[in-house]
Amino acid sequence: MKYLFISILVLGLLTREFFWINERHIYQENEIYKKSYSFVHEPKKNSLSQYFFTDGLLVTIPLYPSYHYGDKVLIEGKIEMRDSKKGKLLIVENPRISKIHNADPLLFFSKSVRQKVEENVMTTLPTKEGGLLLGVILGVRDKIDSEYYQQLKNAGVLHVIAASGQNVSIAAMLLLTVFSTFVKRRMALLFTALGVLLYAVLTGFDPPIVRASIMAILAFTALFTGRQISSIYVLFLTGWAMLFVQPEEIVDVSFQLSFLSTFGILTVKPLLDSLLRFKLLSFVKDDITTTLSAQIATFPLMITVFGAYSLLSFPVNILVLWTIPIIMIFGGLAGLLSLFLPFMAKPLILLCYPFLSYFKTIVELFSKINLQISMDTVPTISIFGYYLILLVVVIKYKERKFIKK
C-alpha cells in the first residue's frame, strides 16, 4: 500500500511537470522580451554595468540609475545570442527600464526592514564585520567589498552569506543541536523553528529561504519526534507539494540545494556519526558531520552550477561554521530589535563582533591558498553515477545497522 501511494505521488508529479514543460514559453533570439521584474536580490555589478538573471535570460543595464532590493521594474528589449564558457547564452542588453511605483507590498515591507537593520549594523561595526553580519542574517551582499567577496569564494564559505537553501539547512541543524544540549527536545524544536522563522522574516520572506525553512523545520521535527525514516518521508512530501504547486521550482538551484542538503543531513550524517568516533574535539563533531554530509549531498550540483569547488571548503567550514548559530541568534534578535528599539539592538550586535572577527581572520588566512577544482561542464551520467553510489552506500549502512539490531 505504501509503495502504491508513493507511485501515485510520483506519477502525479511527473504529469504536472510534463504539462508545465509543454506550456512554458521558451525565449528565442531576436524575440522582444517585455515583462515586469521585482528585485528580490541586489543586482550584481561590474565596472561597466549591473546585471541579473530572469526567465533564463541575462539582463544587463547601465550602472546608473542603481536598482536595489524591493524595486519593481518593467523590462522591454530585444533578446540576443552570445557565446559564453558554458555555451550559448540569451541576453537582453541595455533594455528600456521603467520603474513601477506600486511595488509588491511584501517587498516594500522587506525593504524597510532591511534598511533599518543595515543602518543599525553598519553604524555599530567596522565595514567588513558589518557586511559579514548582514550577509549571514539577511543574505545581503552589496555591503561586502569585491576583494573580501573573492576571499569568501576562495575559502569555500560563500554559501554562508548567500541566504541559500543549503545554509538554512545547516543552520537549522546546528541550532537544533545547540538548543538540545540546554533544553528538552520539544523546547529545542520550538526554539529552532522560531530561529529559522526569524531568519525568514529578516530576509523579507525571500522565496528560497521560505522553501528551505519549511523543509528544514518539517524534516528535523519529524527526525526528533519519530524515526529517521519518517523525516525522509516528510522531506519528500514537502518537496513534492512545493513542486506540484510551483513546478518551475524543479530547475531552481536554491530549491535543489535546500532539498539535497537536508536529505544529506538526514541520511549521510548518521553514517558519518558512526564512523567518526574520535574523542578529541568531540564538541565540534556535530559541526563536522553536519557540514560534511550537506557538502557530500550537494557536491555535484555545486560544481555543475558554479563550475568550481574549493578543496578548502570543508576544513574552513569546520573552523568557522560553529560561529554561525551564535551569530544568527544574536544577529537575528538584534535585527528584530532594530525595528522597534534600535539602541537595545547595539549591545547584541557588539556581542557578534568577536565571532565575526574570528570568521573574517580565518577566511583571510585560507583565501591565500587557492585550491579549486574547476570544470566547464559535468557529464550528466557522472552526476547520476555519483548519486547512485551515494544511495547504495546509505542503503547498505541502514541494512547493516538493522541486522545488528
State the pLDDT at residue 384. Answer: 87
Amino acid at position 308, single letter: A
State the pLDDT at residue 395. Answer: 81
pTM: 0.74
222, 207 in Cβ contact below 8 A? no
The CA distance from 34 to 116, in Å, is: 33
What are the φ/ψ torsions at residue 9 (nearest 5 degrees)?
Answer: -60, -45
**Which distant-in-sequence residues (6+ apart) come within 8 Å of 254 by Cβ?**
164, 165, 208, 211, 212
State the pLDDT at residue 356. Answer: 94
State the pLDDT at residue 47. Answer: 78
Residue in this structure with the C-alpha cell 536554491, named with its chain if needed: 254
**Average pLDDT by consecutive 10-residue portion of the chain (405 residues)?**
78 87 84 86 81 88 84 90 77 88 67 82 91 83 81 79 66 76 81 78 66 75 64 81 84 81 85 73 68 84 74 81 81 83 89 94 85 72 88 79 56
What cell numbers appear for 19 in the block?
A: 504539462
State the pLDDT at residue 337. Answer: 86
